[in-house]
Amino acid sequence: MMTCKSISFLFLIVFVCSSAIDVEGRLYDGQSKGNIKNDGSNADQNNITASSKLNTFIQSASSSGGSSMCDHIRPDELPSECDCREGSERYSLIIECLKPFNSTYFNDTIGMKIDIDPCNKDGSKVSIDVTEKDHNIDYPITGIRAGESKNIPIPGLSMIVPTIGHVGIDAAVLISGNPDQLTLKIGLNACAQLTTHQLCASSIPGISNILPWYVLSGTYSFGDICGSKSKSNNNNDIDAGGSKTNPFKLQAGVVE
């Protein structure tokens, strides 16, 4: 670990020097662009201060030796109510959202914390924590593995919809694939259990415009990071968590 630390330190020194050069460069170049680039979108980085760059760099350097974990989930595609940051565990990332709903049926603000551990050797793993302040709800859902797909009811959180009755708020989770191609669909949904079937938000007039609400919905690649994490590991270990499951079958499992 000593070597690791000293390597990070070396990186830091190199960065501080290069950022000094960068700042100096700006004095001569009014139109200067951010030289340090950790995602494709350089466009809005041209006004970044040296200190925020330093933070970004330290985060990147300590997580993946160059590119930030959050870049892998295309942070610009997140809902505006959400932010991504590096997790405390190496190669993990945390997305936190505070989503206000302002509908006659559902007038509440829901907090959602999504902890993604794509490189876990037992298969990519997601943990979720759903919170609501007024009713003091804090519901953790831990250790959802690749290969799972479900609407998980949040106890105590529901709304009443005319002609239908109680419609419970769910955490909607789909995780499938392997770190190279990890499909994640994570957010909030609402479903009612009718006598014959489950009826979920997208089919409920008056609710379909607000739910389901997805924080993540797409296929993401963490292969480069997970690979560099465990070169000595057999790749089969990483794949073991359910990559062989048919993703279409899983997809069908999410009732919207």
Ligand X SMILES: *[C@@H]1O[C@H](CO)[C@@H](O)[C@H](O)[C@H]1NC(C)=O
Please, are residues 207 and 201 in contact by the beta-carbon 8 Å criterion? yes
Residue closer to ligand X (CB basis): 47 or 51: 47
Residue closer to ligand X (CB basis): 107 or 198: 107
Secondary structure of the chain: what % helix, strand, coil (to 5)?
Answer: 30, 35, 35
Rounded least distance, CB 162 to ligand X, Å: 15
For residue 164, give both structure tokens: 């239908």
Residue closer to ligand X (CB basis): 106 or 220: 106
Helices (H), the chain: 2-28, 50-64, 223-229, 235-239, 247-253
Residue closer to ligand X (CB basis): 3 or 104: 104
Rounded least distance, CB 53 to ligand X, Å: 14
Rounded least distance, CB 159 to ligand X, Å: 12
What DSSP designation does 76 have? G
Give the span between the Cα atoms of 53 and 15, in whole angstroms. Answer: 9
For residue 175, give both structure tokens: 């995780």
Rounded least distance, CB 111 to ligand X, Å: 17
Rounded least distance, CB 46 to ligand X, Å: 6
Please, are residues 183 and 207 in contact by the beta-carbon 8 Å criterion? no
What residues make contact with ligand X under the rule CB under 6 A? 46-47, 102-104, 107
Tell me if residue 114 falls in helix, strand or coil.
strand
Residue closer to ligand X (CB basis): 32 or 251: 32
